Amino acid sequence: MQDFLQQTLSGETPQPQSGENPQLRWQWWDEGILELTPHQPTRQAIVISAGLHGNETAPVEILNQLMTQLLKGEKALVPRILVILGNPAALRADKRYIRCDINRMFGGRWQQYEDCPEARRAWRLEQAMETFWQAGDHVEVCWHIDLHTAIRGSYHPRFGVLPLNQREWPENFMQWLSAAGLEALVFHRAPAGTFTHYSCEHFNAASCTLELGKAQPFGENDLSQFAAAKQALASLLFGEPLPQNEETPRRYRVSQQITRSSDAFILHMNAETLNFTAFPQGTLLAEDGEKRYYVQQAREYVLFPNPHVAPGLRAGLMLVEDNAHNKTTGS
């Protein structure tokens, strides 16, 4: 197997299902799930996922280019890795999802949904992640990089979202995120059903959702925009030098979540509202029957506004700047 993406999109089981080259051994676990293990011992076990949303194709293309180099034996592999294309059916259909948003289902939340392709897939991905990390002995580096693109444009086209974490983030992990060309980092303060929250909570992984540009169909992405992210991934996988990034990402933390609870929900933002748009204190953001959402701080920034989510799901996050950190770093 030399093209992981095309093999996944074909919907067929590869023959054979395992193999090796001078650099590594590979094992196909399931549709869109591939383990690669270097011949030399390693204490790094890293999960890299993309395509949880089937219309977010740029990260899938970037990841597949790197996997092709590995599978052809053109590059040495440093860590043991599990590569995941999260929602193959949605990738084939060029849709965000088939029935439900898989990235709200992790941590067992899939059990709360009707039986649908995404619920079964979330369960399978949880199993795969558990099997992968339980197999490693004396793992010292346990990371999960989940690659996405955003539905709409953004004042920060490349940013990362980190899950709730009671521990200190590893310094080398934060340095890697900066080297990946991210302009902003958003820190969650509450549990969520995302893949990165699951890996962080259950396996103590250093996890981050990378948002790289805006969702486009296969073949329509300007991958040059994400050269730093691709080079940072190459550094992680191949042991190549990290790209130099003189800018320190600005830091934000979640101040409140806007949740759509009913069909009466109204989001007071238009479809052209960019991620990280600022709103002054007192602005009415949304209403849902008698419930009202207002800007509570002097200034808050919106992230992922989407009035079309299913009832009970997040229709947007409001952020505040981490002023203490941003002033210290001069960013």
Sheet holding 265-267, edge to edge: 265-267, 284-288, 291-294
* Nearest-angstrom CA–CA distance, 300 and 278: 6
Kindly report the backbone phi and psi dihedral angles of residue 205, in degrees, each rounded to the nearest multiple of 5, phi listed first: -75, 145
Question: Is 156 within any annotated ligand binding site?
Answer: no
Catalytic residue, candidates 211, 247, 272, 287:
211
- pTM of the model as a whole: 0.92
Q: For position 57, what pLDDT does the model report? A: 87
**Residue 13 sits in the same domain as residue 86:** yes
Domain-terminating residue out of 214, 238, 262: 238
Crossing angle for the helix pair 171-179 and 227-238, nearest 10 degrees?
Answer: 140
- Cβ count near 107 (within 10 Å): 18
**Residue 143 sits in the same domain as residue 35:** yes
* Nearest-angstrom CA–CA distance, 122 and 229: 26
Q: What is the pLDDT of residues 61-94, one digit of tens each?
A: 999 999 999 999 999 999 999 999 999 999 999 9
**Residue 116 sits in the same domain as residue 222:** yes
**Residue 71 sits in the same domain as residue 106:** yes
Q: For position 69, what pLDDT does the model report? A: 96
Active site residue 211: yes
**Residue 162 sits in the same domain as residue 86:** yes
Question: Is 39 within any annotated ligand binding site?
Answer: no
Q: How confident is the model at residue 153 (pLDDT cuts 50, 70, 90)?
A: confident
Kindly report the backbone phi and psi dihedral angles of residue 66, in degrees, each rounded to the nearest multiple of 5, phi listed first: -70, -40
**Residue 231 sits in the same domain as residue 268:** no
Domain-located, residue 33 = yes
**Residue 222 sits in the same domain as residue 302:** no
Q: What is the pLDDT of residues 211-252, one digit of tens each?
A: 987 767 677 777 777 888 999 999 999 998 888 877 889 999
Torsion of CA 304, 307, 309, 314, to 10 degrees: 50
How many alpha carbons lie under 13 Å from residue 201 in its C-beta half-sphere?
17
Question: Is 247 within any annotated ligand binding site?
Answer: no
**Residue 106 sits in the same domain as residue 46:** yes
Q: How many domains is the chain built from?
A: 2
Domain-located, residue 245 = no
Contact predicate 94/31, CB 8 Å: no
Taking residues 114-131, what's their average pLDDT? 94
What is the average pLDDT value for the chain, to the nearest integer? 91
